Amino acid sequence: METLLLGLFYISTLYAFIPGLITRLFGFRVFRRGVSKDHFALTFDDGPDPVYTPKLLDLLKLYDAKATFFVVGSNAEKYPELVKRMHEEGHLIGIHNYVHKTNWLMWPASVKKQIQRTTKIIHDITGVTTHYYRPPWGIVNLFDFAKRNETQIVLWSAMFGDWRQRIGADRLTERMMKKLGGGEVFLLHDCGATLGANTDAPMQMLIALERVLKEAQTRGLQSIRIDEMITMGKNLKKKGNAAPSTSTGENAVHRGKPALSPMKKCIVSLWFLWEKVFHFLFRLKTTNSEDPIFHFRIRPYHGDTVKMMGDIPLVHGDQVLELHFDNKKLFQIGMRSRSSIQVAIGMIRGVEKTLPELASYIMAHPELHDVKALYGVTMINRGTEQLGFTVADLPKGLFAKSTTIYLKFLMKVIHPQGGARLKQSSSKELVPKMLVMPIELLLERYSEGGSHRHLKQKQQKDLQSAEDATETEVVLSTSLT
């Protein structure tokens, strides 16, 4: 039961909580605000609706305002004439799933089918293929990031609770006026038929919207489509990049310690806080609380049988010491390093130091004497056999796919050069592997009574070989923490 709950916690954290937190707080891999001073974007979810969408289109036409409609596929299927009218009047049409259901409650394949089905419906009606996607309630899952080349996820910078009728037109107007300005992305709804919404709420929205559009004209603000707002931002960024860089970028990396943007600093701080929570919840321990490399816990092994060194089998149900690299420590190593080779060397030295500490810890704790192996998941594919580990492929399936995406995501977010490293590496290079080592081999090689001194001399040679290596794969976490 404990294992099942832990598995559910892992999956929910990785699949839903972390992606949702990162996108909402930091806008990671989503578009939610423009940079134009004279334009804002009106976006409408949940339609089309046979009563309110025609009235909305009339209002937009009256004020020469362009908008983006994220349509529910099943509604678009019922009212194709409204989707056609949206397109003919110059509005952008995006996807809001085929049914209004959160992505947290659907498998990746189900979400993909929802998007593909809605895309086909829109194409059949308009002849245009859309790439703009807003998940219901703005809730993303881990695999939504993987669809980056297929879809552009669009969230918002301002929402007003317009799906509740009790808000009323006056209060809604006040809220919208406060946010009316260049670059803002308004979230509104032209249909009140979804869960939690009021059927007649769009009428209050229409009253408020007309007031806002009048005020926008007075201020010289124009509502444009999301694709136009995104293009404006890209063009501005290109102009900005034409100027010589003074403190950041590749030159800064070569001069010394890479500079972190304020957003990345916030992300890193948030991640370290989450790691502390994870360690507390699952009671992870370490051999060195002042300068940790590994954290660990005992759990049953649930994979296929693996032959470790010495032909020792690791079978389903065996107790393993699950290792988790300390993300803060490895981030510090990454910040001090100018290349992946230097990061790798720092990690090798840290592991070399910690394995004897682990061996001594196990010898001193009788409750660990039934543990059969060390176990971890990592993208490090070189040099670990020399330390006594056996490298094995993860079984194909959801865990392997989600772990790959997660570790790449963590590398990009935490590692100062993570994004560039991902672009340089092929998909075959960045694949998580399972590492296992028999406890008896750990004790034989690394305990005080074993052949640790002889091994240390050998590892010094291995370390020199690592310094001369031309390729070493590095990631800043080997676990789901």
pLDDT (tens digit per residue) in 275-290: 777 778 778 888 887 7
215-227 pLDDT, tens digit per residue, is 999 999 999 999 9
Lowest mean pLDDT across 112-126, 244-258, 349-363 = 244-258
**Catalytic pick among 189, 295, 324, 415:** 189
Cβ atoms < 10 Å from Cβ of 477: 23
Indicate whether 291 pLDDT > 60: yes
Which amino acid type is present at position 103? N
Place of tokens 């804002």: 40
Which of 348, 297, 330 shows the shortest CA–CA distance to 413?
Answer: 330
Sequence-distant (6+) residues with CB within 8 A of 42 are 60, 65, 67, 68, 186, 188, 209, 223
Lowest mean pLDDT across 56-65, 193-202, 446-455 = 446-455
> How far apart are alpha carbons 330 and 476 in whole angstroms?
6
- Predicted pLDDT at 74: 97
> How far apart are alpha carbons 436 and 226 in whole angstroms?
49
Contact 87, 124 (CB under 8 A): no
Indicate whether 299 pLDDT > 70: yes
Average pLDDT, whole number, for the chain?
79
- Predicted pLDDT at 410: 62
> How far apart are alpha carbons 45 and 58 in whole angstroms?
17
CATH architecture of 29-239: Alpha-Beta Barrel (3.20)
> How far apart are alpha carbons 254 and 198 in whole angstroms?
57
Indicate whether 115 pLDDT > 90: yes
Indicate whether 480 pLDDT > 60: no
Record the tokens describing residue 207, joined without a space. 């009253």
For the segment 350-359, the average pLDDT, to the nearest whole number, is 85
Domain extent listing, the chain: 29-239, 260-468
Q: Is 326 known to be catalytic? A: no
- Predicted pLDDT at 449: 62
429-440 pLDDT, tens digit per residue, is 567 788 999 999
Lowest mean pLDDT across 68-82, 266-280, 433-447 = 266-280
Lowest mean pLDDT across 85-94, 196-205, 288-297 = 288-297
pTM of the model: 0.56
- Predicted pLDDT at 394: 82
Q: Is 45 known to be catalytic? A: yes
- The burial of 81, by beta-carbon neighbours within 10 Å (0-12 exposed, 13-18 middle, 19 or more buried), is given as exposed
**Catalytic pick among 39, 45, 91, 415:** 45
- Predicted pLDDT at 419: 53
DSSP bridge partners of 188: 44
- Predicted pLDDT at 52: 98
Record the tokens describing residue 318, joined without a space. 């065996």
Indicate whether 315 pLDDT > 50: yes
Record the tokens describing residue 49, joined without a space. 């609706």
- Predicted pLDDT at 195: 86
- Predicted pLDDT at 17: 53
Between vectors from CA 226 to CA 223 and to CA 229, what angle results, nearest 5°? 75
Contact 407, 434 (CB under 8 A): no
For the segment 90-113, the average pLDDT, to the nearest whole number, is 89
- Predicted pLDDT at 418: 52
Place of tokens 């983006």: 68
- Predicted pLDDT at 373: 94
Lowest mean pLDDT across 33-42, 123-132, 252-261, 401-410 = 252-261
- Predicted pLDDT at 479: 42
